[in-house]
Chains A and B, each alone.
Chain A
Amino acid sequence: MPEWIKAPLVLTLICGLVSAALVFANDLTADAIAAAEQARLQESLRDAFGEAEYTVPDLQFDGINQVILDKRGNVIYDITSTGYEKDGQHLLIGLDEAGAVSGICVVSIEDSPTQSAKVQQDSFLSQFIGWDAPDRSYNAISGATKSSEGIQKAVALALQTDLDNREVIRNAE
């Protein structure tokens, strides 16, 4: 078989075989992966906001990954914010029925270790509890200014989105 036929043929065969193997592997694992993700989300929600049944309505807003509702009237915003690293902070901001911040959960944060540790301290995060308007003043941690800003921006975004879309969200199932 001449070289110029054999080479592309072999390459195509190899690509085909590898793809087939991967499709097979994907079929085996995709469901398990999705289930594991859901379980982790539920777990972090439970850790941060207590036992409840959480549902995710089909709503999309700018800058919000997803909106989560629990039966008690709380709304939780899943937000990816930029601290020191772009999109390095994954946060869950919980607002109660009145639209005030009731809790913040840091799911993951990719800023440098010292900065990450500082902004996850209760003494810093607790200043946001009770905020009901996005333009309140806050105290950043010195030496972790960018990380603090990231969290503050996420809280402001959650509050703003809630203010703008309150009807839609509360009425969603």
Chain B
Amino acid sequence: MPNKPSLFSEFSKGIIRENPNLVGLLGMCPMLAVTQEAKNALGMGLATTFVLIGSNFVISLLRKVIPKSVKLPAYIVIIAGFVTLIEFLLHCYFPELYSALGTFLSLITVNCIILGRAEMFACKNNVFRSVLDGAGMGVGFTLALFLVGSLREILGTGTWFGITLNGSYSVSVLTLAPGGFFVLGCVIAVVNKLAHKPAPRNIGCQGCPMADTCAASKGGCSQ
């Protein structure tokens, strides 16, 4: 069995190299929907991180107990539970953020990132690594949302976190959907340029979706 990646790299891979949103192109719906303002983007990212860590923790804890045939429904119930939990908390303590996020808070349940990490990582790795993975992916997602949100808010309305920086040079199409897509496209292009590294010569089997059926999993695949 090849050496497992270090604990730190489990966490850090989600930030740039395998950023779930900008490199993996998952979770696009909240990315476009709540990034008109940096504050909302940050809030959404943190809420998703909470759900990611929680669901990775529980799913990894129960990974040996949940039978394969009910894997997906079980994961979704667990994820939905965490999402409802964060909804209660936000409604209670941050009502402004709650109404700003609106439906998209409930839609965290179907965010591909969370189910994706559950499927690809949490069900195959121990609890500690799963939590680190969830945290890393969550941080990467939050940073991506925050970056796009800040760009859209600063260039689109001339404010940042509600503080007016410069009111007269704002291009408000950036706060609308078409501008959002455009900003997102540019950010994805830049981040992918930065993240582009040659593939490692020997990858471990943790993140590979073929690991269960792969005959080479004994010695690690070298693709």
Binding site for B on A (CB under 8 A): 3, 6-8, 10-11, 14-15, 18-19, 21-22, 25-26, 28-29, 32-33, 36-37, 40, 108, 112-114
Contacts and interface: CB of A to CB of B under 8 A. Distances in A.
8 contacts: A3-B67, A7-B67, A7-B70, A18-B81, A21-B85, A25-B85, A29-B92, A33-B95
Contacts, number: 61
B74 A10 contact: yes
Interface of B: 36, 62, 65-67, 69-70, 73-74, 77-78, 80-81, 84-85, 88-89, 91-92, 95, 99, 156-157, 172, 175-176
Contact of A11 (B70, B85, B88): B70
Contact of A14 (B78, B84, B92, B172): B78
A113 B157 contact: yes
B74 A6 contact: no
A15 B77 contact: yes
Contacts of A11: 70, 73-74, 77
A interface, by DSSP: helix, strand, loop or mixed?
A: helix
Contacts of B66: 10, 14
Contacts of B157: 113
Q: Which 3 A-B pairs have the closest CB atoms?
A: A18-B81, A29-B92, A11-B70
A14 to B, nearest CB: 5
Contacts of A6: 67
A10 B65 contact: yes
A37 B91 CA distance: 9
Contact of A40 (B85, B95, B176): B95
B70 A18 contact: no
Contacts of B172: 113-114
Of listed B70, B157, B176, residue having the most chain A CB within 10 A: B70
B69 A26 contact: no
B69 A25 contact: no
B92 A21 contact: no
B89 to A, nearest CB: 7
A32 B69 contact: no
Contacts of A26: 88
Contacts of B156: 113
A18 B77 contact: yes
B85 A22 contact: yes
A11 B66 CA distance: 8
Given A22-B85, A33-B92, A113-B36, 4 more contacts: A7-B67, A29-B92, A113-B156, A113-B157
A108 B102 CA distance: 12
A79 to B, nearest CB: 17
Given A14-B77, A22-B85, A25-B85, A8 B70 contact: yes
A108 B98 CA distance: 13
A14 B63 CA distance: 12
Nearest to A28: B88
A37 B98 CA distance: 12
B81 A36 contact: no
Contacts of A29: 88-89, 91-92
B77 A25 contact: no
